[in-house]
């Protein structure tokens, strides 16, 4: 029997006169030991201020422990805000603290006020970082062993915990429909009841359906970073699709998904054709969707561009006044902007899905009357026309702006 575990009262307190500081209790090999009738020994004295002081046990150190016991735990708060701290300060020695022996204060309080005998006591550090308010926990957890009939601890804020033996597991909760849930978690020493913020047997809340509000940029080559903004994105498991092919599964903060366009799709086809090689992500326009546990989002058009710079094969017509519709043929024209010399054309450029055609209107100013800004058309003359994409600049062809 671990006799030292039976000690629930202060072994001895030496008060240094005039300064109100509690003297530490020490054990000494020179103090005599007690002997029980069955021959077991126990600590009969403590060494205090150079002398042996007899220990005042609140129960017979040679007696037997109750046959049935249970552990209870509590997280104390700061600023002496616990019931046992307040009681201790009312016992005629206010300000006398024994910070290294919370067992004394807790056990004495439970014995004197609630007639509960503490058989064992543990003080464990369970939180390394705590807040500084008086209502915040100290970062310690106190655990006490008492007789199982002592249900009076529960109204005092203590929680019953289950010891875990070598061949035991924490109890599993069972719902009325037969499904199970985690009722306890193992903290390394014991099973602790899980405090759910909702009924673990209740229905799960309905997930919001994902919705795409925007994609930036709206075109990019393999290796480009793409940001999807919207709502209904789950923390993980957001599958991005280009048309019917999955690009990959990504995490989210709920409002954005950021991913890099990979060189190939995540899989070749759905089961059972698992051996199919994933196809490459080719340049072109795709209908973009996000699929997660909440459902499938709306569609959003996205253009995968080539990683090669654009090239121009021809332009038609090759001359015309402001407002003329023009078509450029070539390669890798996805998302291209048209320039007349050093000036950008503002007539809106639209590329074909295969990147082989680009159409625009000849407009030399970013706005036209009556929109409130000065209209500055291209001066008549011949210009070198070229296309610029994220992958570079094309060759030039000639276009003549007529009066």
- Determine the Cα–Cα distance for residues 377 and 364; give it in Å rounded to an integer: 4
For the stretch 179-191, pLDDT in tens is: 888 777 766 556 6
Looking at residue 154, what is its pLDDT? 76
CATH topology of domain 211-305: Immunoglobulin-like (2.60.40)
pLDDT at 166 over 60: no
Task: Enter the tokens of residue 20.
Answer: 């109100």
The residue-averaged pLDDT of 291-319 equals 90
Looking at residue 10, what is its pLDDT? 36
Looking at residue 65, what is its pLDDT? 57
CATH topology of domain 311-401: Immunoglobulin-like (2.60.40)
pLDDT at 370 over 70: no
pLDDT at 338 over 90: yes
| Bridge partner residues of 248 (DSSP) | 240
Distances (CA, A) of 376 to 61, 155, 325, 369: 103, 83, 18, 10
Looking at residue 47, what is its pLDDT? 62
Percent of the chain scoring above 70 in pLDDT: 75
Q: How confident is the model at residue 148 (pLDDT cuts 50, 70, 90)?
A: low
Three-state DSSP at 103 gives: helix
For the stretch 266-297, pLDDT in tens is: 864 444 444 456 788 888 888 989 999 889 99
Phi and psi angles of residue 343, each rounded to the nearest 5 degrees, phi first: -100, 135
- Determine the Cα–Cα distance for residues 360 and 338; give it in Å rounded to an integer: 8
Helix (H) or strand (E) holding 192: strand 190-193
**Buried b or exposed e, range 54-89, using 16+ CB within 10 angstroms:** ebebeeebbeebeeeebbbbbbbbbeeebbbbebbe
Q: What angle do CA 366, 345, 369 make, to 5 degrees?
A: 30
The residue-averaged pLDDT of 359-381 equals 74
- Determine the Cα–Cα distance for residues 174 and 177; give it in Å rounded to an integer: 8
Contact 399, 382 (CB under 8 A): yes
Task: Enter the tokens of residue 146.
Answer: 């008492």
Q: Are strands 245-250 and 284-292 parallel, antiparallel or unpaired?
A: unpaired
Whole-number CA gyration radius for the chain: 39
- Determine the Cα–Cα distance for residues 294 and 307; give it in Å rounded to an integer: 35
CA 38 to chain CA mean position, Å: 57
Q: What is the mean pLDDT of the chain?
A: 77
Looking at residue 267, what is its pLDDT? 63
Does the pTM surpass 0.95? The reply is no
Looking at residue 252, what is its pLDDT? 92
Contact 386, 339 (CB under 8 A): yes
For the stretch 122-132, pLDDT in tens is: 888 877 777 87
pLDDT at 393 over 70: yes
Lowest mean pLDDT among 113-122, 277-286, 360-369, 390-399: 360-369
Looking at residue 13, what is its pLDDT? 32
Distances (CA, A) of 129 to 125, 136, 137, 140: 10, 11, 10, 11
pLDDT at 68 over 80: no
Looking at residue 190, what is its pLDDT? 64
The residue-averaged pLDDT of 135-152 equals 78
Looking at residue 324, what is its pLDDT? 93
SS3 content of the chain, % helix, strand, coil (to 5): 5, 40, 55
Contact 28, 47 (CB under 8 A): yes
Three-state DSSP at 111 gives: helix
Looking at residue 188, what is its pLDDT? 58
Where are the CATH 2.60.40.10 domain residues in the chain? 211-305, 311-401
Lowest mean pLDDT among 119-133, 191-205, 325-339: 191-205
The residue-averaged pLDDT of 251-260 equals 92
Looking at residue 307, what is its pLDDT? 80
Percent of the chain scoring above 90 in pLDDT: 20
For the ranges 68-82, 174-188, 305-319, the maximum mean pLDDT occurs at: 305-319
- Determine the Cα–Cα distance for residues 340 and 350; give it in Å rounded to an integer: 16
Q: How confident is the model at residue 17 (pLDDT cuts 50, 70, 90)?
A: very low
Looking at residue 12, what is its pLDDT? 34
Task: Enter the tokens of residue 257.
Answer: 């998904």
- Determine the Cα–Cα distance for residues 61 and 5; give it in Å rounded to an integer: 10
């Amino acid at each position: 029997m671990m006799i030292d575990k039976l000690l629930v009262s202060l072994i001895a307190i030496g008060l240094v006169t005039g300064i109100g500081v509690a003297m530490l209790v020490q054990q000494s090999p020179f103090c005599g030991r007690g002997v029980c009738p069955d021959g077991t020994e126990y600590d009969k004295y403590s060494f205090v201020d150079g002398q042996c002081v007899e220990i005042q046990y609140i129960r017979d150190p040679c007696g037997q422990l109750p046959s049935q016991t249970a552990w209870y735990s509590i997280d104390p708060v700061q600023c002496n805000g616990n019931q046992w701290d307040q009681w201790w300060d009312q016992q005629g020695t206010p300000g006398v603290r024994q910070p290294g022996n919370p067992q004394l204060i807790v056990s004495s309080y439970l014995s004197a006020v609630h007639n509960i005998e503490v058989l064992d006591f543990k003080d464990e550090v369970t939180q390394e970082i705590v807040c500084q308010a008086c209502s915040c926990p100290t970062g310690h957890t106190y655990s006490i062993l008492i007789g199982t009939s002592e249900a009076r601890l529960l109204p005092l804020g203590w929680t019953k915990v289950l010891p875990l033996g070598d061949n035991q597991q924490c109890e599993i909760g069972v719902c009325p429909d037969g499904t199970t849930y985690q009722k306890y978690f193992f903290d390394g020493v014991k099973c602790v009841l899980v405090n759910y913020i909702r009924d673990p047997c209740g229905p799960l809340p309905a997930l919001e359906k994902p919705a795409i509000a925007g994609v930036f940029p709206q075109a990019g080559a393999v290796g480009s970073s793409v940001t999807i903004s919207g709502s209904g994105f789950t923390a993980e498991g957001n599958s991005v699709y280009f048309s019917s092919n999955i690009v990959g599964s990504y995490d989210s903060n709920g409002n954005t998904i950021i991913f890099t366009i990979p060189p190939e799709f995540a899989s070749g086809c759905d089961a059972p054709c698992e051996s199919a090689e994933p196809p490459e992500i080719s340049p072109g326009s795709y209908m973009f969707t996000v699929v997660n546990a909440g459902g499938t989002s709306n569609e959003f058009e996205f253009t995968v561009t080539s990683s090669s710079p654009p090239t121009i094969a021809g332009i038609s017509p090759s001359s015309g006044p402001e407002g003329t519709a023009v078509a450029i043929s070539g390669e890798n024209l996805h998302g291209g902007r048209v320039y007349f010399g050093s000036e950008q054309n503002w007539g809106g450029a639209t590329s074909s899905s295969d990147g082989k055609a680009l159409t625009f209107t000849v407009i030399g100013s970013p706005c036209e009357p009556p929109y409130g800004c000065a209209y500055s058309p291209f001066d008549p003359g011949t210009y070198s026309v070229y296309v610029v994409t994220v992958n570079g600049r094309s060759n030039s062809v000639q276009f003549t702006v007529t009066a």
